[in-house]
Every structure is written in C-alpha cells, then in structure tokens.
Structure 1
C-alpha cells in the first residue's frame, strides 16, 4: 500500500510515519523542509501547493496538519479544503 503523510514532520505526522513504516507500508513524507521522519520517500512541498498530480498513485493520503495558535485555526479548514478539492474524483 502506498501512503502519503502530509505534514509528516509534525508530532502526529512523525508517529504516523513511524507506525506505517513498521507495518511495512510504502510511505512518502510530504514535508516543507528536510525530512525528519523514517520515511524513505519524500515530497518536499507546502500543503497548499500540492496538486492532484502530486498525490496521484497513492492509495491513502493522511492529513497530519496541526496548528494550535488561536489566530491561525482557520488554516485547518483551508488546508483540509484544499486537499479535499485536489483529491475529489480520485480513488485516493
């Protein structure tokens, strides 16, 4: 199974990647900077710059984005909306 973990360098993302790798899944870490996870594959791109083509071929995309600044909570809706838009109509 091919798995993409978006925001993989975060607290939740790193744990998700670690567990998925331990289970033998083919994991790609989607990160903005240097990959700090155990994933062997990396896609270096900001979440809002991801395209349908970037995520084509993955069986599952996990959104591990998180932000706890009260002034930036709207980013949760924006990023989830973006991912939903680009994955709409796909089998992912």
Structure 2
C-alpha cells in the first residue's frame, strides 16, 4: 500500500484526507481485522476494494463509497488488481491506517 496524505498539518477539523493505492488482496485471517474508535470513509477512484467487516464482505467499485464504524472488525484490500481510494480518517483512523 502507498499512502499520500493530502490534508494539511493544521488539524483544525481533526480529519486526515489521504489517497491510498492498494495492491494486495484483503487478508481473510480474523486476526488481521482491526478495531478502533471512530469511523472510516472512502471513495474508490479506480479498481475495486474488497472491504471485510467481520464476516461480511462488501465489494466497493470505482465511483462508489463506503463508511463504517471502526469498532466493527475490518480489513480491506484490492480485488482483481490495484485500486486507488480517497479516504477520510478521524484521529484514531489516522493513527491506525496512515501512521501504521
């Protein structure tokens, strides 16, 4: 995964906007699904994202968006080739997805 942080450092709204290129498939191992306080939101710019929410699988295609509580165990990856998303993270999401 490659991440470009697009938002500035001012932190006024507490949100981080990032462009993420995803090349790996989603891990199906339950221990790879994470939980943390907050919500995640993303929209797919290209490709297809496989979003795992506990035992549920959601395919998010180019032009579609997803938002979910991050207290639900979750993981995501590319389906059928690389994908790119624009994601908005709250401070907890930034620590877990951008800083990780």
Which of 1 and 2 has higher RCO (CA within 8 Å, sep 6+)? 2
Q: Same fold (TM over 0.5)?
A: no
Name the TM-score, length of structure 1 as normaliser: 0.27
- Greater fraction of residues in helix: 1
Name the TM-score, length of structure 2 as normaliser: 0.26
